[in-house]
Amino acid sequence: MKIIEEIKKYKSISTIGLGKNVGKTETLNYILNKLTEDNLIVGITSIGIDGEVVDQVTATSKPEIIIPKGGLFVTSEKHYRSKKFQSEVLDISVRTTSLGRVVTSRSLSSGKIMLSGPSNSTWIKSIIDNTLKKGADIVIVDGALSRLSVGSPIITEGIILSTGAAISNTLSGVLKKTKHLINLLELPTVGKKKKEKLENLEDGVYILTQKNLIEKEMNPGRIKREKLSKECNEKFDYEIIKLPIKSILHFSDLKENIFQENNSIFITGVLTERFLEYVSRQENVENIEIIVKDFTKIFTTPEILMKFLRKNGKLKVLFKTNLIAITINPTSPTGHTLDSKILIENLKELVQVPVLNLREEE
């Protein structure tokens, strides 16, 4: 199947659900089974806790995560002890989570597991690297909308997104929420020179101003327009100024208006809805460029984001996340069902990746 062939191109992926009961666990089990059938060793862990039998929010039954024989899995001591299948311990962390140390194991038989990993993104990344060293061909990290950080390109190479009727009673509602995340995933990246200047900066808020290093005026009549544009870009450098505030939450403390000139604002932390709305009210929005590390740093509603973009404001990322596929669950736990075919057709108009209902595929 196309989705599995796409997944095989990556060493690490994350599964993210736009809400509860959108079919993320079914998607995860499907991927685990198909990759194992293709003789790949799959490693799996979670950021936070997943795999519970009963959903703690809706009190409905949930499909459990099933580890195939020969697979690697990483979970806390507490949940490792509660499993009911044979496994071989490969590694135990020195650091601890609220549920104990983190155990890396190889399953000797297939079985159900509750996954509980660290909530720290840096630790998750080290777990991925360690699991690959232990023999995994690919590592899957189970995430959620509330734990979007796992979808950061700094942690995993790509994501599988699950959506469905559980996030809205209407087709338009599901499409609106799903499209918003897709829009964030498809934000443009900054140029190579800007990225090199920004990617290693420590926490804070920065202003980038462009410095013209061209010593003499070029002759547009002598140089083709596209060549001139490229040559001009190579003659520019950027001056970086760190603002005397810890985050954009303290933006009002600044004594000067940084929007008077064509500046780029780089935020190492989160971009809030309040700040984006504030920027949208500026007179020269079209000259403002906001840069964040990746889509997981953006917390805003679709309305506020579109207001900023419609005014020709620019929002870019340093690192872009690869969306591998979208899976849908047209049925919600409350009983209402959407037309699977229509939902898929509408989503396919938004993305260039596979969109599918895995139950229909089976």
Pair of tokens at residue 221? 């009549």
Tell me the three state secondary structure of residue 25.
helix
Do 11 and 78 have their domain in common? Answer: yes
Is pLDDT of 236 > 60? Answer: no
Residue 297's pLDDT is: 92
**Residue whose structure tokens are 């009963």:** 54
As to burial, measured by CB atoms within 10 angstroms (0-12 exposed, 13-18 middle, 19+ buried), residue 335 is exposed
User: What is the secondary structure of 95-163 as a DSSP string?
Assistant: EEETTEEEEEEEESS-EEE-EEE-S-HHHHHHHHHHHHHTT-SEEEEE--GGGGGGGSTTT-SEEEEEE
Residue 159's CB is within 10 A of a number of other CB atoms, namely 27
Do 11 and 158 have their domain in common? Answer: yes
Pair of tokens at residue 247? 């985050």
As to burial, measured by CB atoms within 10 angstroms (0-12 exposed, 13-18 middle, 19+ buried), residue 39 is exposed
Is pLDDT of 345 > 70? Answer: yes
As to burial, measured by CB atoms within 10 angstroms (0-12 exposed, 13-18 middle, 19+ buried), residue 327 is buried
pLDDT digits (tens, 9 = 90+) for 257-270: 666 667 789 999 89
To the nearest 10°, report the CA torsion of 201, 202, 207, 212.
-20
Do 332 and 283 have their domain in common? Answer: no
Listed residue (118, 135, 125, 121) closest to 76, CA to CA: 118
Residue 147's pLDDT is: 63
pLDDT digits (tens, 9 = 90+) for 193-224: 889 989 889 888 898 887 644 333 444 443 33
∠ CA 74-76-81, rounded to 5°: 100
pLDDT digits (tens, 9 = 90+) for 106-160: 999 999 999 988 888 889 999 999 999 999 999 999 986 666 677 788 889 999 9
Length of the chain: 362
Do 79 and 222 have their domain in common? Answer: no
Do 299 and 211 have their domain in common? Answer: yes
pLDDT digits (tens, 9 = 90+) for 45-78: 998 675 454 444 444 445 689 999 999 999 999 9
Do 205 and 300 have their domain in common? Answer: yes
State pTM to two decimals. 0.84
Is pLDDT of 300 > 90? Answer: yes
Residue 249: give the domain boundaries.
192-317
Is pLDDT of 249 > 50? Answer: yes
Residue 121's pLDDT is: 85
Do 29 and 172 have their domain in common? Answer: yes
Identity of the highest mean pLDDT range in 233-242, 254-263, 312-321: 312-321
Residue 302's pLDDT is: 93
Element (H, E) at 44: strand 42-46
Do 244 and 332 have their domain in common? Answer: no
Tell me the three state secondary structure of residue 258.
coil
Split into its structural domains, the chain has a count of 2
pLDDT digits (tens, 9 = 90+) for 78-109: 999 999 999 999 999 999 998 999 999 999 99
Assign residue 55 the CATH number of its domain: 3.40.50
Pair of tokens at residue 265? 């604002």
Segment 155-180 shows an average pLDDT of 94
CA distance 101 to 213: 54
Pair of tokens at residue 141? 């990290």
CA distance 141 to 10: 13
Do 258 and 331 have their domain in common? Answer: no
Residue 232's pLDDT is: 39
Do 153 and 216 have their domain in common? Answer: no
**How far apart, in Å, are the Cα atoms of 155 and each of 140, 151, 254, 320?**
11, 7, 33, 12
Do 8 and 137 have their domain in common? Answer: yes
Do 181 and 274 have their domain in common? Answer: no
Element (H, E) at 340: helix 340-348
